[in-house]
Amino acid sequence: MANLENPIQSKSVGSDAEGTHRLSSSISIESASASAEPSPILEGVFAISKPTTKTTPQILLDIQTIFATSTTFTPLLQLERRKRAEQEAHQPSGQKLKDEERDGRFFKLGHGGTLDPLASGVLIVGIGRGTKHLSSYLSSTKTYETVVLFGIATSTYDIQGEEVERKSAEHITAELVRRKISENFTGTFRQVPPVYSGLKVDGVKAVEYARLGKELPRDLVDREVCVDACEMLEFMPPNTHEFCYPAAKEGERTVVEAMPAARIRLTVSSGFYVRSFAHDLGVACGSVATMASLHRLRQGGFFTPDLFSTSSSLNEDDQQETVEAATAASNSTQFVPAIPYADITSSEETWAPQIRSALTTWMAQNPARDPNARGPGRKGRDKEVKRQRFRGEWLAETKRERVLQQGGKSKGKLSRKKNGNMEEGDK
């Protein structure tokens, strides 16, 4: 009997030991998973440095694909998919939501002001909750650096358009350009937007009329703009620069190159068109002009390192102040550097720390609203502050005034007395 019980007893002991080992292993795994913090959901506003080889819609689609395949934005992607699944569950039978992921749109993504294909520089991007804050960046001031090429005018007011006019520019000098800038393009003035723009006329963008060869139903109305600073950094006489109009014939290229150009830096308000500025500057100088290049150095609190590049026209004291300003901006939370687009298209190890730093700072400054939080209620409100339910020039004090403010002689049964009159002091 002892010989028969020993194998069973040894087996049970082994089973207990194995069970204890499995239990301890499971406990260690659970404790390890509990100790590991979940990855935070990153959303907010950041900026990238757009190259001239990409358009704004192309960059946004590229960012969608890059972020969707990364581990940094996996929690946000899971949250977006849960929201879409909930919306799909509440759809009526026979109706389905559009599959956004099939079109390459995985996140809520938008920009805070588009850039022309020719332009480069700061492009503000909002992702997730940050898309609701992009409108504030549209009204912010911007700093541009542009090159104006004199002697040629194009349909789009830049070198990518069709040539419409050539005019002599031999008389244009650096002194003339500086004088016309100070006289006509500083402070507040009115500017006519270019035809090739996104402004709508009768519900259709003006650029669509131009591409179809149709005339606008009416001319674009000039708008008030403000130029806080306008400085000519460099004047380039003919045959001293590489900016030229890409003429169809090679023989014309040398003629176009033999034209003066000026590099100008502007700090402008919202609604300002640099292409219109280049066109108007050429007319003010007694010739014609077009925009040869454009770089957005700053928008709001986002900037590129070129913003603090020293100019040859600055003296030593101004250059030292520029270097100090660049150092202070790089160490300040109010100024955020734009992430180069080359870093975004490289490995995640390159762009993830920069994106995480920018979004973490934004989320700390813009905390999410607690969905379970409730207002103070009627009892918790300040009794001294009177509530105004309807907008108007005056605040209703009595019941009669409140009825009149709503646009009627009486409203409801409570506003009528048995004798048909309302007391003056009834509230």
Task: Give the per-residue pLDDT at 77.
Answer: 92
Selected catalytic residue, list 99, 116, 318, 343 = 116
Check pLDDT > 60 for residue 248.
no
Neighbours of 238 (CB within 10 A): 15
Mean pLDDT, to the nearest integer, of 120-149? 93
Check pLDDT > 50 for residue 208.
yes
DSSP 3-state percent helix, strand, coil across the chain (nearest 5) = 40, 20, 40
Check pLDDT > 60 for residue 33.
no
Task: Give the per-residue pLDDT at 243.
Answer: 85
**Among residues 363, 350, 361, 366, which one has the least CA distance to residue 72?**
350
Whole-angstrom distance, CA of residue 241 vs CA of residue 235? 10
Report pTM. Answer: 0.72
326-357 residue pLDDT tens: 444 444 446 889 999 999 999 999 999 999 99
- Determine contact, residues 302/338, Cβ cutoff 8 Å: yes
Cα dihedral 129→134→140→143 (10° resolution): 100
373-427 residue pLDDT tens: 665 555 555 555 555 554 555 566 777 777 766 665 555 544 455 555 544 444 4
Ranges assigned E (strand) in 106-259: 109-111, 119-127, 142-150, 152-154, 163-166, 187-191, 200-201, 204-205, 223-236
Task: Give the per-residue pLDDT at 315.
Answer: 47
Q: Identify the three-state secondary structure at position 152.
A: strand
- Determine contact, residues 365/358, Cβ cutoff 8 Å: no
116 tagged catalytic: yes
Banded model confidence at residue 307, pLDDT cuts 50, 70, 90: confident
Q: Please report where in the chains the tokens 């703009």 appear, as a residue.
A: 225
CB hemisphere CA count around 311 (13 angstroms): 13
Query: Over the chain, what is the mean pLDDT?
Result: 78
Q: Identify the three-state secondary structure at position 319.
A: helix
